[in-house]
Structure 1
Amino acid sequence: MSEKSLGETKANLNYENERRDLACAFRWTVRMGMHEAIANHFSLKVGAGGTSFLINPKKHFSRIKASDLLLLDTNSPPNLKDKDAPDTTAWGLHSSIHSNCPHARCLIHVHPIYSTVLASLADSTLQPIDQNTALFFQRYVIDEGYGGMAFEKEGERCSSLLKDPEKKVMIMGNHGVLIIGDNVADTFNRLYYFERAAETYIKALWTGKKLRVLSDAIAEKTAGQWDHYTDFSQRYFEELKAILDEEEPSYRL
């Protein structure tokens, strides 16, 4: 496999709508306080071939524009020494998952506070104690085998845990959270609700009082009811873009 120059990955600015959606997600991740320096990374599969994907360079999320996103191919690694290259761990994690998990069209990996606190507990189970926590009932996987930074071998290991298309959240033990979805709106909505669910759960634990945990039957029923809100994530994301169109239109460039 030959290395691509980063100039080549930026030369092709196709997928305008996909780029704008992904850029919007980066900007809102900052607004919601879920970013971390110039670390963390999002990607989105594009095109019909199944190997091309957009991903962010090492740039602060608040400054990312649609045209900044790199168009990479899982079969052609970029020159990771280039100043605009994606983080080495971003390539290792995202290329592996996109290669091995066809259902994972969009990936968001972040270290938000409450999700990461949950990932740091000896038991990272998210108990269903309200509607938001029930949304994720039996719809996540816990990675208990953290092996260090997510270079290619670690990326391959993580991808092996995401074979079930119903498991759209990976609680990455000792690390953070990885969210997958069909598109940017779907995936960002899932991130938003997972962090809120984790916050509710962690703060409930802080009280030291006994939790009112939903039965498995009610938790599953509630999760299934969430599934019927098929246009909810897209409508929410359109609102987020509309706000940016008024306040931060540079994301579209």
Structure 2
Amino acid sequence: MSPEALTDRAPAGTSPAEWAARVELAACYRLFGRLGWHEMIYNHITLRVPGTEDQFLINPFGLMYREVTASNLVRIDTEGRVLDGSAYGVNPAGFIVHRSVHMARPDAHCVMHTHTTAGLAVACQEEGLLPISFPAVFYTDRLAYHDFEGITLEREECARLAASLGTRNAMILRNHGLLTCGPTVADAFAELYHLQRACEVQVAALAGGRPIRTPPAEVARRAAAQFDATARHGEQNALLFAAMLRWMDEAEPGFRR
């Protein structure tokens, strides 16, 4: 679906650009629910409100991902304070991780964080993500790590978390989960999809109890560069997310409300 189509039903008082952002973000929450990437009412996907530097859209705290709609997303400031008079509350503590990335990276308009079983399993493994599979090699020399410090509540850790991420768009929070970011919902989703798949394959491969074949380092680095050229800096991420939007329109069209 074209970006123009996403603006057709913008309600009074909401700009077409913000409504388009709300529709994409709501669709992404529903998609995470379908893929099993939710943590019941916890975890978040955040998106900077178009045209602003310090306003963000986030899910209402207490709703499951399958209940999120374009209109019930909550607009907040950098402190997690509600700006749009929403009747829903938000989880300020849950926004702290996202805030650290948004504020350190002006290009990171969308930030995603998950606690999937496979992501957590790899986050608990000493060596982290191994370059053993097709999606895993995409992250050769392109994956950040941040050591576990407990529940992320302190601003001091947020600064360290942002420093750990640096200029990269994907990170494993050790013993905690996965985080990705990008200039669009489509870019952040694609990063998370491939990273999640790499974790799933690693868990399955290690569980097999057989020797693991690892490609030569130069092959892994070449594959990562090829992926950068074709997906990260091409049109594939947009095409992928457009297909996901079509799926959600068929499966859960209520997200557009």
TM-score by length of 1: 0.87
Is 1:100 aligned with 2:96? no
The alpha-carbon deviation at position 170 of structure 1 amounts to 1.2
| Residue of 240, 243, 249 corresponding to 2:253 | 249
Is 1:218 aligned with 2:228? no
Paired residue type of 2:226: Q
- What is aligned with 1:18? 21
- What is aligned with 1:110? 114
- What is aligned with 1:4? none
Question: Deviation per CA, 1:52-85, whole angstroms, max 9, x where unpaired?
Answer: 22111212100100111112222x5416xx9722
Greater shift after overlay, 62-71 or 11-20?
Answer: 11-20
Paired residue type of 1:72: I
Structure-2 change in CA distance of 1:12 and 1:219 (3 Å): farther
Question: Deviation per CA, 1:151-177, whole angstroms, max 9, x where unpaired?
Answer: 24233331221222xx21110111111
Q: C-alpha separation between the residues in 1 aligned to 2:100 and 2:121? A: 26
Paired residue type of 1:132: P
| Residue of 38, 41, 50 corresponding to 1:38 | 41
Q: C-alpha separation between the residues in 2 aligned to 1:12 and 1:116? A: 41
Structure-2 change in CA distance of 1:205 and 1:84 (3 Å): same
Q: Gaps (5+ residues) in structure 2?
A: 1-11
- What is aligned with 1:87? 91
Q: C-alpha separation between the residues in 2 aligned to 1:77 and 1:206? A: 41
Structure-2 change in CA distance of 1:181 and 1:222 (3 Å): same
The alpha-carbon deviation at position 235 of structure 1 amounts to 1.0
CA RMSD of aligned residues (A): 2.1
Is 1:148 aligned with 2:150? yes
Structure-2 change in CA distance of 1:149 and 1:83 (3 Å): farther
SS of residue matched to 1:200: helix
Q: C-alpha separation between the residues in 2 aligned to 1:100 and 1:44? A: 14
The alpha-carbon deviation at position 209 of structure 1 amounts to 2.2
Greater shift after overlay, 239-248 or 59-68?
Answer: 239-248
The answer to whether the 8 A contact 1:96-1:152 is kept is no
Is 1:237 aligned with 2:241? yes
SS of residue matched to 1:171: strand
Q: C-alpha separation between the residues in 2 aligned to 1:60 and 1:160? A: 31
Q: C-alpha separation between the residues in 2 aligned to 1:186 and 1:77? A: 24
Q: Would you say how many aligned residue pairs link Structure 1 and Structure 2? A: 238
Tell me the percent identity: 31
Q: C-alpha separation between the residues in 2 aligned to 1:130 and 1:196? A: 9
The answer to whether the 8 A contact 2:146-2:165 is kept is no
- What is aligned with 2:175? 174
The alpha-carbon deviation at position 211 of structure 1 amounts to 1.5
- What is aligned with 2:139? 136
Paired residue type of 2:202: Y
The alpha-carbon deviation at position 34 of structure 1 amounts to 1.1
